[in-house]
Amino acid sequence: MGNARHVYFVRFEDLPDLLRIGRRTIEGARKRVRKELLRGDYVTDDRTIWIDADLLRRSADQRSYVDVETVTVAIHPEEPACVSCTGHDWHDEIAHSTGGNNVVCPSRCVREGCNLRKIEETRPSRPDNGQPAPTHAIRYERL
């Protein structure tokens, strides 16, 4: 079953038509969808965002589509530059759990005048839908 090939389609939020991605295994279809999603231009501001697309297949009678699964990619923010030309010098601060599987791991750049803090979370909730994120998240704060 895992290696069966089907013709897959993708539904993107801001596209009216389905994108046909052809006959593939489910693993091949996921890989192709991730690649398509990563081609987009996204504004992450200073924190990780997640972009979803629905993977579909034709129904058995070929007249409609059935949802197979949602494929999600994480878009991490670009690291803000350091005031130091040698780059950030991250020092870990105390990590803490926020419940579930999420651990918040802050670190701070100790270069004079930088005042940037990086916060990594292992399994945060998504701010857009409240669901557990499928990947870790990063955000930056100026102190």
Q: Is the CB of 12 or the CB of 140 nearer to Zn ion?
A: 140
- Does the footprint of Zn ion cover residue 34 (CB under 5 A)? no
- Does the footprint of Zn ion cover residue 109 (CB under 5 A)? yes
Q: Is the CB of 32 or the CB of 88 nearer to Zn ion?
A: 88
User: Minimal distance in Å, beta carbon 43 to Zn ion?
Assistant: 23
Q: Count the neighbouring beta carbons within 10 Å of the beta carbon of residue 29.
A: 25
User: Minimal distance in Å, beta carbon 60 to Zn ion?
Assistant: 57
- Does the footprint of Zn ion cover residue 108 (CB under 5 A)? no
Residues 6+ apart with CB under 8 A from 7: 20, 22, 23, 57, 58
Residues 68-107, mask of contacts with Zn ion (x by CB under 5 A) = --------------x-----x-------------------
Number of residues that bind Zn ion (CB under 5 A): 5
For residues 136 and 101, give the distance between their C-alpha atoms in angstroms, rounded to a whole number. Answer: 11
Q: Is the CB of 63 or the CB of 142 nearer to Zn ion?
A: 142
Interface with Zn ion (CB under 5 A): 82, 88, 109, 111, 114
